Chains A and B, each alone.
Chain A
């Protein structure tokens, strides 16, 4: 793939994941605002999430969209504001996304599938 094609694809997938996230975020914020009323306990969270396929599916999609969306934006910031060379910015962002994905999958396991 030429670098031009790569740049174009990165842009495209960041915007596609943004569209998915726009929906996920809407649902997520509404849910959190609702759930947080009167305080929030672990029992309350887990009673809703444990074993729930719907929750699991929703948050897997949310997580994957984040894992695509975040590193592309982060790399741009590292290049433009922190003067990292392109390759380094991409590696750092990629590692960051991988860590985030790891934590996210662990969170999903703990909260839904455990």
Chain B
């Protein structure tokens, strides 16, 4: 059907915003059960949770945690833009809010990185 679908037709801000929103949502959805499962280990007592926390106190995990905070910030900020488009009176595709969402992502990335390593 879409023989000619290629990046050229999708190279505009609103489309990128859609891709970021959808991919971040998917990754978050996949991560969330793991996150909750880890916390659920606390049901076995503090030692189980502590054991898990120590097991994940490694650079790769820290990077993954950081990535997830960034994804969450991007997904939420992009989501607020969509809520405004769908529920507030029309004021365009809000490219300003796309830029703002990206900014929120950067801020969250920096804040969490600082918090993790200081």
Give chain A's interface residues, CB within 8 Å of chain B.
15, 18-19, 21-22, 25-26, 29, 32-34, 36-43, 45-46, 66, 70, 73-74, 77, 96, 99-100, 103-104, 106-107, 109-111, 114
Contacts and interface: CB of A to CB of B under 8 A. Distances in A.
Main secondary structure of the interface of B (DSSP, over half): helix
Contacts of A46: 42, 46, 49
Contacts of A77: 22, 25-26
Contacts of A96: 29, 33
Contacts of A43: 46, 50
Contact of A29 (B25, B69, B79, B116): B69
Interface string B81-100: 01100110000000000000
A32 B76 contact: no
Main secondary structure of the interface of A (DSSP, over half): helix
A107 B42 contact: yes
Contacts of A74: 26, 29
B63 interface: no
Contact of A106 (B36, B50, B53): B36
Contacts of B118: 37-38
Q: How large is the interface on B (under 10, 10 to 19, 20 to 34, 35 or more residues)?
A: 35 or more
A110 B41 contact: yes
Interface of B: 22, 25-26, 29, 32-33, 36-47, 49-50, 52-53, 57, 69, 72-73, 76, 79-80, 82-83, 86-87, 108, 111-112, 115-116, 118
Contacts of B83: 15, 18-19, 22
B50 A41 contact: yes
Q: Which of B42, B52, B53, B57 has the most CB of A within 10 A?
A: B42
Nearest to A21: B76
B36 A29 contact: no
Nearest to A37: B115
B112 A110 contact: no
Nearest to A25: B76
Given A18-B79, A36-B115, A36-B116, 7 more contacts: A15-B86, A45-B42, A77-B22, A77-B26, A100-B32, A107-B43, A109-B40
